[in-house]
Amino acid sequence: MVVISSTMSMEIAGKNFVVGASQERVWRLIGKVIFNALPGLENIEILDENSFRGILRLKLLGVQMSNRVRGEITDVLPPESFSVNLFLSGPGGLFTLSQRATFAMNEVDRNQTEITAKATVDSVGFLFQFMLIGQARRFAQSTFEAIEKRLKELA
């Protein structure tokens, strides 16, 4: 199977927004907010302090599919930034997708924090490449919007 190599990462979504809270408060909230903001993620199992797995339900070509997802939190620099690597595997190994989301938090002033979120696709099976990238783009963008909304509610 041909895949996009990890050296050919493609940015698929991004979002910048400001939350009315200190950088430390945003740092304490963001991990929990992310889990609640992932659309279609079910049966989450925490494996250790940096890893989880679960089932991600999504529609592909109008068909609802249950996909295995594994996540790993990396590049943690409190309270400034971290990344989440997501590895998706379709039913029966039909397709795979490797996606990375990075979050950077910069204090604008004492009670204002700017968050920059970016999602990239690192590899995807060739057969479903165009369909999966579109789905991954929509998933990432809706997740970033849900994170923004929830952080602003909690700030």
pLDDT tens readout for residues 16-73 = 999 999 999 999 999 889 988 888 889 999 999 999 999 999 877 778 889 999 999 9
Range of the domain at 66: 6-154
Residue 101 domain flag: yes
Which among 24, 27, 7, 21 has a CA at the least distance from the CA of 103? Answer: 27
Residue 17 domain flag: yes
Residues in CB range of 21: below 8 A, 6 or more apart: 29, 111, 112, 113, 151, 154, 155
Residue 90 domain flag: yes
Rounded Cα gap, residues 60 and 32, in angstroms: 28
Render pLDDT for 88-120 as a digit per residue (tens, 0 to 9).
Answer: 998 888 788 899 999 999 999 989 999 999 999
- Given a cut of 70, is residue 4 above it in pLDDT? no
DSSP assigned state of 94: S
The more confidently predicted of residues 63 and 78 is 78
**Whole-prediction pTM:** 0.88
The pLDDT, as a whole number, for residue 27 is: 97
Residue 104 domain flag: yes
Residue 43 domain flag: yes
Residue 50 domain flag: yes
The pLDDT, as a whole number, for residue 95 is: 82
- Given a cut of 70, is residue 5 above it in pLDDT? no
CATH number at residue 63: 3.30.530.20
Residue 1 domain flag: no
Rounded Cα gap, residues 98 and 123, in angstroms: 5
The pLDDT, as a whole number, for residue 127 is: 59
In the chain, how many domains are there?
A: 1
- Given a cut of 60, is residue 1 above it in pLDDT? no
Residue 14 domain flag: yes
